[in-house]
Amino acid sequence: MSMVLARRIPKVGKSRVGFSGLPLLAIRLLTTRLSSPCLLLPMDVVGDYPGGKVANLNFYDLEMQKRVTVAERRVPESIHLSRPIGSSRGWVVLMNNEDLTVHVTNMLNPSAPESSHRVISLPPLMPPDLSQPKASLQVRNVSLSSSPDNRDEVCVVAVKFRGSCISFCIVGGSKWRQGSKWRHADSLSSRCNHSLVVYSSKDYTFCLTPATNTVLRKDARKMPEPLLSFLTYYRQTGPLKQPKTGEYEYELLRRCKRTKHLVESPSGDLFIIVKYVFKTCVGRPVFPGETRDLEPTEVKTGTRRFMLYRPDPTTRVESYVQDIGDFCIFLGKNEPFILPTTMHPGLKPNSIYFTEGKQVYLYNITDQTFSQLPNDGLVSSIWLQPILH
């Protein structure tokens, strides 16, 4: 169980329960396509048809801040038997735990018209250094170089695993053909064991996020490039300096576990997002080595803060920023994406949307505060970017 270590909004009262155990006030049957970002929730199987299942597809709509349902959609058996391992450009990537086949689809995105639904099935994905039962559980994230809908552009899917392996396969474009094989890069730098992969449309390359340490190691810039021409390491040019904080806050942040994320804006601006997470016990900070004598059920993990940095292409200096304008960022088990709030009036500018435990949160970048958004307690960590048609 996790918690955000910051100010919360009041909890929402309970409502009556409807079908599938869902609160009636939280359900809305979707009669038109959803054009706002949403969270992908587990589907409810309500029947069978030859070749698959009939299911109600569930989503958490961010603008309405409630669950919405697309009723009685036909879901192919290949999708029903697979688990999502990530999303990119609004497409969901799934892996079957039994035969390790990978499927890329837009049919799980409520913004995609039904006439455009596609399921692209790829060969089994078995990285050289992983055992079959744990393959899908070892996925860090996925990234697509472009939308598979674009017939004039080759689309490549990248799957980053925990450890030193990343795998690629062509899934779209005129060069795609049935039987395309996975290609593996399994000798990455050990500093990329916990890295994520992001595609840069500006530089036309897949990029691995920086190592999790905030202080730059002197030999980081001397790492050899990966052997694949379309893959590179993000090379941090200097330490990411923390803004001035009080002594107590500084000590807390210094002891936090840090993860780094990259996100590219529509204009090509790159942002480094540092997420600070630490543990508490009965509201008291718990530091490394102190959890041995504590009751495990009382130890909670939560986000303390986010910090954003923007590299200057001229000076190559990563500067701390507190204002990204009329944009908001979506962070989860998806390729991070950024959207203009001018196109989605219900979203808050200069903010980060993320999930933790069973809650959805909004982080204000300027004043470093958190708000808890209403939901019915069933939340995933996969954000779906709207697909524009």
Residues in the chain: 389
* Beta strands, E only, 129-288: 139-144, 155-161, 166-172, 183-185, 197-200, 205-208, 231-233, 257-264, 270-281, 284-286
- The residue ranking higher by pLDDT, 194 or 261, is 261
Rounded Cα distance between 334 and 338, Å, is 12
Rounded Cα distance between 36 and 38, Å, is 6
Taking the domains of the chain in order of start, what are their residue ranges?
19-384
* 3-class state of residue 177 by DSSP: coil
Q: 82 near 96, Cβ under 8 Å? A: yes
Does pLDDT of 341 surpass 70?
yes
Does pLDDT of 185 surpass 60?
yes
Does pLDDT of 11 surpass 50?
no
Rounded Cα distance between 320 and 273, Å, is 10
Does pLDDT of 360 surpass 60?
yes
Does pLDDT of 322 surpass 50?
yes
* 3-class state of residue 313 by DSSP: coil
What value does the mean pLDDT of the chain take?
A: 83
**Residue 56, pLDDT score:** 96
Q: Which helix (H) or strand (E) holds 250?
A: helix 247-254
- The residue ranking higher by pLDDT, 297 or 359, is 359
* 3-class state of residue 26 by DSSP: helix
- The residue ranking higher by pLDDT, 52 or 242, is 52
Query: What does the pLDDT look like over 68-90, one tens digit per residue?
Result: 999 999 999 999 999 999 999 99
Query: What does the pLDDT look like over 117-176, one tens digit per residue?
Result: 999 999 999 877 666 666 778 899 999 999 998 877 889 999 999 888 899 998 865 555
**Residue 5, pLDDT score:** 44
